Structure 1
């Protein structure tokens, strides 16, 4: 499985993602539809950060003027305590102290640009701009999904409806160029899977029109919750993760605890504008074929001890708890206090379903206490079902077969559904074991 991995230990911004993908070998030509539609150019250059040769990307208007790097108003790696040293990680420009004595600018009246920050566009206006570009369907679909993620995060923060939200920092041409360009470059590398390690947010505070807020910004927190991956603070008191960077990776990348094992084909480094010695202010990407790994699945494990449950109740738990969200139910014999026989019930479910499943478990069994075990995730196979046709004495019978594979698509188990096999056995007079064998053999993998 070809995997594109982002190393998030120094956060991410839109321009850093662009630069890292280009440095890893993505074709610059895929950016041309964006340049044509927005009347701008991507300026690509090289720099060195703490001894690491890296790529930078900036957006310029076709007349040579710098595009308003609106996300730079809360850009990558600002030291909000020292405006004299601000050097936008999102664009590498030093616009002077007057523009940089603040961090986030979510403010101003809706639809009215804050001074020096370019246009504020509504979510619907941004969608229209992207839809009018001459993009591949897949690129357009992913770009629109990223802006929807951004819009939902902003709407949640401000208590507004998605259709009414106005983008501030991320509504100008350069931010649109970041999002659409990043999607086009990522697709050009043709990965089967994209992952990111936990993203560093930085620390300190950032000033917005509504007040001063701690890093990470509220929009970044919302995006991380929706993407269901991890954030970590530090390693410096500066803003390392921007909303645009978070949204791009939030849609494209699965969260992983550590970089996967890869047979490397390419790597790239995208630089932010600010120097953070001794930390290299770069986003690293790795491209390669991954090892045979199972898929990480976050779970909750619920347990309860029962000493008075009837066989009928225990027998029906699998079905009743499954309707509440349980993924698996196990009932084990146990010896209770005073040597009385009982049962241990263990239930696996998704974290977001645990309260509903616990309530169902309590109502079905009458238990007075349910505990949550320590497991937080499991490793599972990718599972799909195939239906095979078995010919027996001129009759055709359908049997469903479960195919289990790892994250690389490598099949390691084939298992026919027992209920289907039992039905065929009854109708054909074949032994169940023979039906199972024939059905599993019929799956050509």
Structure 2
């Protein structure tokens, strides 16, 4: 399999739509025609235009993306969410670009609806509904669609401080909708005031499903810089992108974080523990459960239960452990995993269809038949072996 690309976002100056467009164009200039084609399909007023500028900004080479208008009224005209959906859907953009642009605006609409106590259809966009933001969103969508599948990583985000003026008056930074979109993302105060993450920038990060961890390994391919129009006092107002080819010997490694939990029991019957373990194993968010016997205190034989869970579901799993067992304490910590990319399919055998799991290993792709499927229609070890061989050698459906 082809090695996966990683793009790491370094938000030195912050994250905004125009900065992301400029940075993407800087590392993938070959996709500028795709951007131009998409933006030329938008029904822009005659007084609204855009341009790409390349040069040295704050002492570094990179690009800027500008949207200009002859009048403030044209630049900052507003759109309702439903009007934007219609505009983007029916102006001749490709299906992929439409899907990405609407996904970003859907995130923005849900954030605005949450802070104003409205529904998505009731949202009237002000700043993010202006032509400059529409152009930024469609430009980002066009470039992301042209780039293709990428894993995104991002560092901690500068939170900014102070106030920003909106159509609702002065609001604290980060703006309410931005704060809604940044929920769960790591932020920090680097001492600089002003808006550092715009609502559009936050929605783009959410759309990219970034992993907020700058630790990565691989072969550096290239880098790009996108600059904002604001001047910062002691640093470049830049968004840097680093493109890497994932490390590995041909295998397509995936990465995630899970929680490992463990606890010991020496005062619960084996029958009841078996029931508890089965109930825990079937819970949403539980990836694996194992149990082992061990020597416990006072000469007793005890059990050690270990679980791997998805972090978002851990509180529910933790409560279930206390509810289903007699343990008085649970040890846990977050761990990182590397996983082989895998695919699920089915194979036809002489006895029936069997589920197959394929894994991309460094030495090549391996295929494994699902044991439960084989067990359903075989009666002996010899039959199981025969069906397994058939299933793992036939072509996938």
On whether the aligned pair clears a TM of 0.5, the verdict is yes
Contact 1:388-1:399 within 8 A present in 2 as well = yes
Moved more, 285-294 or 338-347: 285-294
How far apart in 2 are the matches of 1:265 and 1:231?
28
The answer to whether structure 1 residue 193 and structure 2 residue 195 are counterparts is no
Structure 1 residue 380 displacement after superposition? 3.1
Aligned-residue offset at 1:121: 2.5
* Equivalent pair of 1:314/1:331 in contact (CA under 8 Å): no
Residues in 2 aligned to 1:41 and 1:437: alpha-carbon distance in whole angstroms: 63
**Aligned pair partner of 1:170 in 128, 152, 166:** 128
Q: 2:295 aligned with 1:352, yes or no? A: no
Q: 3-state SS of the aligned residue for 2:140?
A: helix
- The aligned residue for residue 5 of structure 2 is 3
Task: Indicate the residue corresponding to 2:392 in structure 1.
Answer: 440
Equivalent residue, structure 2, for 1:255: 211
User: 1:67·1:173 contact (CA, 8 Å) conserved in 2?
Assistant: no
Counterparts of 1:172-321 in structure 2, within 5 Å, are 172-188=130-146, 190-208=147-165, 209=168, 212-213=171-172, 215-225=173-183, 229-234=185-190, 236-258=192-214, 260-276=216-232, 278-292=234-248, 294-321=253-280
Task: Give the deviation of 1:264 after TM superposition.
Answer: 4.5
Seen in structure 2, the aligned counterparts of structure 1 residues 162 and 323 have a Cα distance that, compared at 3 Å, is farther
Match of 2:368 in 1: 415
Change (3 A) 1:262 1:296: closer
- CA RMSD in angstroms comes to 3.0
How far off its partner does 1:265 sit? 4.5
Provide Cα deviations, 1:339-364, integer angstroms capped at 9, x if missing partner: 32111212222222222222332332
Q: Does 1:27 align with 2:31?
A: yes
TM-score by length of 2: 0.84
Change (3 A) 1:370 1:145: farther
Matches of 2:215 and 2:327, distance apart in 1: 43
Match of 1:115 in 2: none
3-state SS in 2 of match to 1:177? helix
Cα 1:133–1:291 change in 2 (3 A) is farther
Shift of 1:240: 2.0
1:269 CA displacement: 1.3
Cα distance, 1:9–1:69 mapped onto 2, change above 3 Å: farther
Q: CA deviation at 1:26?
A: 4.3
Q: Name the structure 2 match of 1:97.
A: none
Look up the match of 1:384.
343
Q: What does residue range 28-177 of structure 1 map to in structure 2 within 5 Å?
A: 28-30=32-34, 31-35=36-40, 36-39=42-45, 40-61=48-69, 65=70, 118-177=76-135
For 2:289, the equivalent position in structure 1 comes to 329
Matched-pair contact (CA < 8 Å) for 1:68–1:172: no
Q: Is the 8 A contact 1:143 1:183 kept in 2?
A: yes
Q: Deviations over 1:374-427 (max 9, x none)?
A: 12543333332222233xxxx443322212347xx9965432222233345427
Q: How many residues align?
A: 382
Instruction: Choose from 357, 377, 380 the match for 1:402.
Output: 357
Change (3 A) 1:321 1:193: same
For 2:19 and 2:377, locate their aligned partners in 1 and report how far apart those are by CA, in whole Å: 58
TM-score, normalising length from structure 1? 0.76
| Contiguous gaps of at least 5 residues in structure 1 | 71-117
Describe the SS at the equivalent of 2:102: helix
1:101 matched to which residue of 2? none
C-alpha displacement of 1:6: 4.0
CA distance in 2, matches of 1:372, 1:26: 51
The CA distance in 1 between the partners of 2:204 and 2:359, in whole Å, is 30
Checking the alignment, whether the CA contact within 8 Å between 1:26 and 1:186 is kept in structure 2 is no
Selected match of 2:323 from 360, 363, 370 = 363
User: CA-to-partner distance for each residue in 1:222-276, whole Å, 9 max, x for gaps?
Assistant: 2133xx5433432633432111011112102432412644444443211112233
3-state DSSP of counterpart to 2:291:
strand
Deviation at 1:177, TM superposition (A): 0.6
